[in-house]
Amino acid sequence: MATAAHTLTPEEASAHPAPEAIVVRFAGDSGDGMQLTGGQFTLSTALAGNDLATFPDFPAEIRAPQGTLFGVSAFQINFGSAQIDTAGDQPDVLVAMNPAALKTNVDALKPGGLIIADEGEFGQRNLDKAKYAANPLEDGSLAKWQLLKLNISQLTLDAVKPFGLGNKEALRCKNMWTLGLALWMFDRDRQPLVDWLKAKFAKAPDLAEANIAALNAGHAYGETAELGAMGISQRQVAAAPAEPGLYRTVTGAESISLGLVAGAQLAGLPMFFGGYPITPASAILHTLSRYKEYNVTTFQAEDEIAAVASALGSAYAGSLGVTCSSGPGIALKTEAIGLAIMTELPLVIVNAQRGGPSTGLPTKTEQSDLYQAVYGRNGDSPIPVIAARSAADCFDVAIEAVRIATQYMTPVMLLTDGYLQNAAEPWKVPDMSTYEPFPVRFHTEVPPEGEKFQPYGRDNKLKRPWVKPGTPGLLHRIGGIEKAQGSGNIDYSPANHQAMTDIRRDKVLGIEIPDQAVEQGQAGGKLVVVGWGSTYGPIAQAVRRARARGHDVSHVHIRHIWPLPSNLGDLLASYEHVLVPEMNTGQLKTLLRDQYLVDAKSLAKVSGQPFRIAEIEAAIAQHIGADFDQELPPSDSQLPSPEAVNP
């Protein structure tokens, strides 16, 4: 998606407008350009200074039959003048480009929300494909919402007629017409989009001008059609308060890629990335391929096994080895990950989780690979596992993965998911001088005469030395068969295997990680909501709302999944109730019960969609015996600021 960058001035940062947030969802066929439309609306929103979060929702099929229910592609954006943590529960505005898009998305729309529908696509054939018995634009079934039905298809054809495009090519511009109307509705500047279109179609200026004409026509329609008579008015959303600095929009895939590059620079290493395309992890390979100037080598292998094996080979040769995949690909990589554990070489493995098992829901989000990450290898073979909470957080988590891998000579698994990979949010570009380097020191010292080099000797971290192949005097054996302590020679003896297994376990358990912090609330109390990964946003908002109502609820969010923080057991034991929302059937809940014997309760969701704030609010109310429906909900102005809940 396009990236917007904006330098926030101190004057802008000090402004504190009245909080307001709006949720807009664009939906249509996968060929209607909804992701592009949403991405460009996001760009204009970021340049306006709003805080935002997005949720692209793709169909699994590469190109489903046009007009069918399973071919609908949607893009949701939540933007406002206050802190935004999620892509929003219910849209305020739904743009539906055909009957299938309306049918699959309308039930999510707020009562009284606005539907903008392209009535030009509501012919009998498309109605039949969407399984409508009657035209919903005419039969009164949409009465609880505002309805603006426009023949967007015909209006687009009229706008681009001077450019001589064929009917099919001209209709591809209707997403720009729709975008123009959306820009008018929220008082957005068109010029950045005009500039983008000219750059995108630099080799086809007629297409650029046609799309610009459609964009301008949609905007002009909003200005001239007297929509106010229908109760539809232009809304201005003020900029959100934020610290001064340089900001850009970033997706999770972009953020991880930048974090891996930064981590390699902090370690003083070249990076080798071996990958194989798989949804939704492929975007990391695409992004890293653009960073050759930072000593990054990318390799698209013939399969998943070759991808991880090449990354492991690069680690043996003295580079930072990185690979990424989703659950099915991680399963294929497992044997080579075991080899990385046995050889004790640094390797970063990114798992962009998706719905499963097997091919499952390739374009939908899930958190169901936690067991796989912590336990999913043959033999006793522990590795560190960490998880990112947001698109922006992926940057720091990637750096942390590189630190652990290189400082402890171990593979590390970094967990994201489909939602984080594709979602975008504003990110304050960090000052890298504030990050402490962790330079790698390769072992070059030749042992005294009469002594042999010990490739499996240990320091106080139980880390073995990292030696580049060909270093004079440091010839050594490496491979997948069990190693003798110290020498690294093949050793099948029971006592040695017991000792080496214990050492590999103790090295991982001894990794230095921060104590677990409380995001909101305090240690001890009635209820703690424990999350990991992308559930952070909805949990944070639900807990904020519960606390604003006066309830004793706290929020703990775990970054280091394995090993767990040393204080986590005592922290969880200080609460009466532990609730764990996660997009699986209760995997973290089971891990916490196993490790700490706490009576953690699960809030499980495996629909392929992220949690809504309301779902977590309802679970909180049930656990504390409250009835939020009978309580006045806190307004945005009553919610505590992020500084107040996380001092």
Average pLDDT over residues 229-234: 74
CATH number assigned to the domain with residue range 248-434, chosen from the 4 options 3.40.50.970, 3.30.70.1140, 3.40.1000.10, 3.40.640.10: 3.40.50.970
Alpha-carbon gap, residue 282 to 306, rounded angstroms: 16
In the chain, residues under CATH classification 3.40.50.920 are 518-624
Is residue 135 over pLDDT 90? yes
Cβ atoms of 469 and 317 closer than 8 Å: yes
Answer whether 0.85 is exceeded by the pTM.
yes
Cross-sheet strand order for the sheet of 146-150: 51-57, 72-80, 21-29, 93-96, 114-118, 146-150
Is residue 14 over pLDDT 60? no
Please report, rounded to a whole number, the percentage of residues in the chain having pLDDT higher than 70.
94
In the chain, residues under CATH classification 3.40.920.10 are 10-230
Average pLDDT over residues 404-409: 98
**Residue 481: how many other CB atoms lie within 10 Å:** 10
Alpha-carbon gap, residue 368 to 549, rounded angstroms: 33
200-216, pLDDT tens digit by residue? Answer: 999 999 999 999 999 99
Per CATH, is 518-624 categorized as 3.40.50.920? yes
Task: Provide φ and ψ at 242, rounded to 5°.
Answer: -160, 165
Q: What is the pLDDT of residue 645?
A: 45
Regarding predicted confidence, which is higher, 225 or 154?
Answer: 154
Average pLDDT over residues 101-125: 96
418-445, pLDDT tens digit by residue? Answer: 999 999 999 999 999 999 999 999 999 9
In the chain, residues under CATH classification 3.40.50.970 are 248-434
251-268, pLDDT tens digit by residue? Answer: 999 999 999 999 999 999
Task: Provide φ and ψ at 243, rounded to 5°.
Answer: -65, 145
Average pLDDT over residues 20-38: 92
Is residue 397 over pLDDT 90? yes
From residue 212, alpha-carbon distances to 160, 175, 179 in Å are 9, 11, 11
Residue 635 pLDDT grade (very low, low, confident, very high; cuts 50, 70, 90): low
Q: What is the pLDDT of residue 395?
A: 98
CATH number assigned to the domain with residue range 10-230, chosen from the 4 options 3.40.50.720, 3.40.920.10, 3.30.1950.10, 3.30.420.40: 3.40.920.10
Is residue 19 over pLDDT 70? no
Average pLDDT over residues 265-288: 97
If you average pLDDT over every residue of the chain, what do you get?
A: 93
